[in-house]
Amino acid sequence: MSGLYAIDVTTFEDAGRFGRCMRRIPSERRERIARLRLPEDRRRSLGAGWLLAEVLLRYFGLESPELGRSERGKPYVKGWPQVQFSLSHAGIWAVCAADIHPVGVDVESVRPDRLAVAARFFAPEEQEMLRWSAKEARDTVFARIWTRKEAYLKYTGEGLSHPLSTFSPASPDEDGRPVWDPALGCFFTSYTLPDGTPLALCTQDGFVPPSIALLRVE
């Protein structure tokens, strides 16, 4: 079964907690965080790094494993092909999905006036779904579609070499219930974080958690 974890990164507004958690993450991510200009970007990146370190230790028994990236940029744990993970962050959230099979996760803040973006990156049927959505729900529908697309690209490891407008993932009817997509050969599951932020999970099988595990820094 996939594991799905999230942390509210506002917890890192505390300088002491920020410093302690920085020591838990790999030096490569620490250097990347140091180059970020905005405090909220630093907190989100730290949240993703801390979540990964915590999940790898807590559920796989791996302390400070070496990470690598594929030719297309997909991160992996060196020497542990049975450990698969995916990271994402947006708004106040960082999320991590982990599995023994390929997995992809994405989270997206709900923002207004995204029709122009949809016209560029959505498949025709997705654009139609967006146009027919109630006006008050349209921004959330956009975010739901976007997260499914991004989760699939992370699942396959193809990244943006696979144009977003060329595929349309299945749309789950309710949170926590996976839907099989025969065209793409994987399952999609939707979730909602406590503040209403949409999240999508893409997995090889349908054994997924019914909800998101919210982790806290002690």
Indicate whether 64 pLDDT > 90.
Answer: no
pLDDT at 158: 85
| Boundaries of domain holding 13 | 3-214
Q: For residues 91-99, give the mean pLDDT.
A: 97
The strand pair at 67-69 and 75-77 is best described as antiparallel
Residue 111 is given by DSSP the state -
Query: Can you list the pairs that 9-15 forms with residues at least 24 positions away whose Cβ atoms lie under 8 Å?
Result: 9/40, 9/43, 9/44, 9/46, 9/47, 9/89, 9/92, 9/93, 9/94, 10/43, 10/92, 11/216, 11/217, 12/42, 12/43, 12/46, 12/47, 12/217, 13/43
Indicate which CATH number applies to the domain containing 73: 3.90.470.20
Of 211, 208, 198, 85, give the one whose Cα is nearest residue 145: 198
**Contact between residue 50 and residue 21 where contact means Cβ atoms under 8 Å apart:** yes
Indicate whether 153 pLDDT > 80.
Answer: yes
Q: For residues 19-32, give the mean pLDDT.
A: 94
**3-state SS class at 199:** strand
Selected residue with higher pLDDT from 53 and 162: 53
Indicate whether 41 pLDDT > 90.
Answer: yes
Q: What is the mean pLDDT of the chain?
A: 94
Indicate whether 1 pLDDT > 80.
Answer: no
Indicate whether 127 pLDDT > 90.
Answer: yes
pLDDT at 100: 94
pLDDT at 56: 95
What angle in degrees, to the nearest 10, is found between the helix axes of 138-156 and 124-132? Answer: 150
Going by pLDDT thresholds of 50, 70 and 90, the confidence category of residue 113 is confident
Q: Is 52 exposed, middle or buried (0-12, 13-18, 19+ CB in 10 A)?
A: buried
pTM of structure: 0.95
Q: Which stretch of DSSP H or E encloses residue 120?
A: helix 115-121
Integer-rounded Cα Rg, in Å, for the chain is 17
* Number of domains the chain is built from: 1
Q: How many CA atoms lie within 13 A of 200 on its CB side?
A: 29
Could you report the per-residue pLDDT of 155-204, keeping only the tens digit for each? 999 877 788 999 999 999 899 999 999 999 999 999 999 999 999 999 99
pLDDT at 97: 97
